[in-house]
Chains A and B, each alone.
Chain A
Amino acid sequence: MQFKAEVFQNAYLSQGAREVHAIMTITAEEDGSGGMNTGGDKLFGIICDTSGSMEGAKIHAAKQAMARIVELLPLDAYFFVIAGSDHAVTVAPCTRATIENKQSALAAIRSIRAGGGTYISTWLSQALAQFDRMPGAIRQGLLLTDGQNEQVDEPRLAAMLNACEGHFQCECRGVGADWVISELQKISGKLLGSTDIIADAAGIESDFQGILERALSKDVTDVALRLWTPVGARVLFCKQVSPQLVDLTQRAHAVKPQTSDYPTGAWGRSESRDYHFAIEVKPGGVGDEMLAGRASLIITQNRVESKATEARILAIWTDDEAKSTRIERHVAHYTGQAELAESIHQGLEARERGDDDVATRLLGKAVRLAHESGNEATAKLLRTVVDVDNAREGTVRLKSTVAREDAMALETRSTKTARISRP
């Protein structure tokens, strides 16, 4: 596998300007050469809420979905299953997905019963112990819950997330509408996954399968985006902007002065992601040219770092306004996508607190931005919350009744961005 990086930016700045924006597209390509050590062990961990509230259709569907995943696992993969309530029960410990091991796991899954509270810190603690058995593997977790974490567990959960960071990645799914988006996003954010809603328990199985497929497609793990910036510069933000918005700014890990690593997790063949950097630099004079940043992809295997690809972010000061005022189209597109997600987030918040004017204005703006950027998926989700009179102008009316699940789906999925269209 081979990585390629490309930078899109308008390097020209007007005199005195300090802010440099650039979009970096990183693509993992199968090149046949092997290049780096790929195809290592894959460990898939399922962490399933079995608290009392799961009783009934939900636990039934979750058990079926888990059984299906175990059946689908390739024989050379590894897996474990944890059932979580007041504490964590290891239903199936970390093991290879042989036919016998699968059969004993399936029997154990069948015997799961719902009951007890929700103490997610204990579930993650147990998962961490399982993942740490195979530190060299591609380590993907999947956490399913239907309710809120117990208040008393909050500080322990926060500490546990810090302990888990970098040890495994985790996708979070909330089933039904009684869970809290921000809570699961805290977990998925720290563990480089996404949070999504499964409104109807019947959808658990297909959702789980999708997560397993993506996990199995990964070839290298523990990939970091390393950003060098000149002395005196400040990173205003570093965000993944495609396929989904993930703000990595606070995730910077200083390697040495001027150089920080941002985690990007595991990568699979023919995967492509875009990152948006905003760097504040010392301004130069007209005609000056500066290397405002050097971004590289660093892969750590067996504690050995290797650089997979590198790209440069430049700044050139000019007195030609025609050059400096032009916004590069990739930067414009993803700035718009971030604004779209933010409008939805704030619009839904306003709607929640009954501020219909603000909600109408912000969700209308979101409809317009989704329309302009061709983000069909988000446009469709928006139509579950508002009636659209004119998408181009963003004139909308709030729907009088909106299913809680629909608002939650819009909120969680609004971070999915549209890829920039070819010019």
Chain B
Amino acid sequence: MQCPECDTELPPENRFCEECGTPLPNTAEMDAPEGSADNGCPRCGASVESIDADGYCAECGFRRGRASRNHFEITISPHFAGVCDRGLRHSRNEDFFCLASSESGMSVMVVCDGVSSSRRAEEASQIAAECACRILLAGSPVDAALIQSQAAVLGIDLATAGGQDDPATTMVVAVVEGRRATIGWVGDSRAYWISPGNNLQLTRDHSWVNEMAPSDAKPNSAQMHAITRWLGHGAPDDEPCVLDFEIPGPGALLLCTDGLWNYAPETDSLAALVEEALVEEARGEAIQTARELVNFARAQGGVDNITAVLLQFPATTVIEAAAETREVENL
């Protein structure tokens, strides 16, 4: 890879030019959304006409975009980044996430986990996340974004629809402006606030264990993981779950799928991992922490797809944000 400013040859993982310090286009942008740029087959160079409706190349047979959908990273800033990974056991990555920040300083994060018992789950998670991110960035409230994403998943073109296995996905979103965070969710993808001495699980899973299980349910029964709400066909017509959360001080907002939290079911154990990563990485960049979390889940077995997205509030930013809020109040 070459620096666009000074043409210095750089290793592909660099995010800044070693010579002139110019920020480099992040790799996530290059291998993120499949099919958005129709350039034909990335394997053999066949023209876009050779790609069939399901993404298979009529020349080399390879399905387009599988490799990059398996693992992708997005870095918006040193404090705001995420990683999505196939894990070790699943053949596809059915998780997806989107990050964005507006010019006004609003941060949008969306994490989706395609329900693996459904068809085209990887499509459901991507379509839902992209839809929610777009709408939130345009200023819509969180509940409207959840409703719109539900419509987007239902809009997936199916030869036959209406079955048990129609595309479905979970979703957790967070919109942060200054110190105010709005969290919305459907299913068992989670949002946490992580801060020394004050770790909180912000969302409550829509899961069988939470909503229906008898109190003496065996902790390992298969139903434990069944979700009771989702986006897609047959989703219960309940009010979206949305809550407001005031960022209390320095810390990090973590959004993740069950591929991560299953290996650290207690909030404090997950928080310990985040803190450990922060200590190990001198600069404490969000992308490094997200990678550490994904690697942790892989090291534990990587049974499911893993997504970890972090928006960090270092001490300095919180003070700035607080100052901003005060200014607004004073006007």
Stretch at the interface among B84-92, B130-138, B210-218: B84-92
Residue of A nearest to B64 (CB): A289
Contact between chains at B70 and A230 (CB < 8 Å): no
Within 8 A of A (CB), among B56-85: 56-57, 59-63, 66-67, 70
Alpha-carbon distance between A315 and B52 when the two chains are bound, in angstroms: 16
Contact between chains at A287 and B61 (CB < 8 Å): no
Alpha-carbon distance between A281 and B52 when the two chains are bound, in angstroms: 19
Q: Does B6 contact A (CB under 8 A)?
A: no
- Measured between C-beta atoms, what is the minimum distance from B301 to chain A in Å? 11
Alpha-carbon distance between A316 and B86 when the two chains are bound, in angstroms: 14
Alpha-carbon distance between A323 and B90 when the two chains are bound, in angstroms: 10
Contact between chains at A290 and B61 (CB < 8 Å): yes
- Chain A residue numbers with a CB within 8 Å of B66 are 287-289
Q: Does A292 contact B (CB under 8 A)?
A: yes
Alpha-carbon distance between A316 and B62 when the two chains are bound, in angstroms: 10
Within 8 A of B (CB), among A223-243: 229-233
Q: Does B44 contact A (CB under 8 A)?
A: yes
Contact between chains at B60 and A231 (CB < 8 Å): yes
Contact between chains at B59 and A231 (CB < 8 Å): yes
Contact between chains at B59 and A230 (CB < 8 Å): yes
Alpha-carbon distance between A231 and B92 when the two chains are bound, in angstroms: 24
Contact between chains at A320 and B61 (CB < 8 Å): no
Contact between chains at A230 and B63 (CB < 8 Å): no
Which residue in B44, B56, B59, B70 is a CB contact (below 8 Å) of A287?
A: B70
Contact between chains at A282 and B89 (CB < 8 Å): no
- Measured between C-beta atoms, what is the minimum distance from A293 to chain B in Å? 8
- Chain A residue numbers with a CB within 8 Å of B63 are 288-291
Residue of B nearest to A288 (CB): B66
Alpha-carbon distance between A265 and B89 when the two chains are bound, in angstroms: 44
Q: Does A16 contact B (CB under 8 A)?
A: no
Alpha-carbon distance between A289 and B62 when the two chains are bound, in angstroms: 6
* A: number of interface residues (CB 8 Å): 22
Alpha-carbon distance between A233 and B62 when the two chains are bound, in angstroms: 12
- Chain A residue numbers with a CB within 8 Å of B92 are 287
Asked, given contacts A233-B61, A284-B62, whether A291 binds B91 with beta carbons under 8 Å apart, the answer is no
- Chain A residue numbers with a CB within 8 Å of B57 are 230, 291
Within 8 A of B (CB), among A1-49: 12
Which residue in B44, B59, B67 is a CB contact (below 8 Å) of A288?
A: B67
Which residue in B56, B70, B88 is a CB contact (below 8 Å) of A291?
A: B56
Residue of B nearest to A317 (CB): B91
Contact between chains at A231 and B88 (CB < 8 Å): no
Contact between chains at A287 and B67 (CB < 8 Å): yes
Which residue in B56, B59, B89 is a CB contact (below 8 Å) of A320?
A: B89
- Chain B residue numbers with a CB within 8 Å of A284 are 62
- Measured between C-beta atoms, what is the minimum distance from A49 to chain B in Å? 50
Q: Does A188 contact B (CB under 8 A)?
A: no
Within 8 A of A (CB), among B31-70: 44, 52, 56-57, 59-63, 66-67, 70
- Measured between C-beta atoms, what is the minimum distance from B197 to chain A in Å? 40
In this complex, the member of B56, B59, B61 whose beta carbon has the largest number of chain A beta carbons within 10 angstroms is B61
Q: Does A357 contact B (CB under 8 A)?
A: no
Q: Does A319 contact B (CB under 8 A)?
A: yes
Contact between chains at B62 and A290 (CB < 8 Å): yes
Alpha-carbon distance between A285 and B67 when the two chains are bound, in angstroms: 8
Asked, given contacts A287-B86, A320-B88, A320-B91, whether A232 binds B60 with beta carbons under 8 Å apart, the answer is yes
- Measured between C-beta atoms, what is the minimum distance from A13 to chain B in Å? 11
Asked, given contacts A285-B67, A287-B66, A287-B70, whether A230 binds B91 with beta carbons under 8 Å apart, the answer is no
Q: Mark A349-369 against chain B: 1 for CB-CB distance below 8 A, else 0.
A: 000000000000000000000
In this complex, the member of B62, B91, B93 whose beta carbon has the largest number of chain A beta carbons within 10 angstroms is B91
- Measured between C-beta atoms, what is the minimum distance from B259 to chain A in Å? 15
Alpha-carbon distance between A315 and B61 when the two chains are bound, in angstroms: 9
- Measured between C-beta atoms, what is the minimum distance from B303 to chain A in Å? 10
Asked, given contacts A284-B62, A287-B70, A292-B61, whether A318 binds B44 with beta carbons under 8 Å apart, the answer is no
- Measured between C-beta atoms, what is the minimum distance from B184 to chain A in Å? 31
- Chain B residue numbers with a CB within 8 Å of A289 are 62-63, 66, 91
Residue of A nearest to B71 (CB): A287
- Measured between C-beta atoms, what is the minimum distance from B90 to chain A in Å? 8
Asked, given contacts A285-B67, A287-B70, whether A319 binds B88 with beta carbons under 8 Å apart, the answer is yes
Contact between chains at A230 and B88 (CB < 8 Å): no
Known: A289-B66, A291-B62, A323-B91. 17 other contacts (CB 8 A): A12-B91, A230-B60, A230-B62, A287-B66, A287-B92, A287-B93, A288-B62, A288-B63, A288-B67, A289-B91, A290-B60, A290-B62, A291-B56, A291-B61, A292-B61, A319-B88, A320-B89
A-B contact pairs, 17 of them (CB 8 A): A231-B60, A231-B61, A281-B61, A282-B60, A284-B62, A285-B67, A287-B66, A287-B67, A287-B86, A287-B93, A289-B62, A290-B61, A315-B61, A319-B88, A320-B89, A320-B91, A323-B91
5 closest A-B pairs by beta carbon, nearest first, are A230-B61, A291-B56, A289-B63, A287-B70, A291-B61
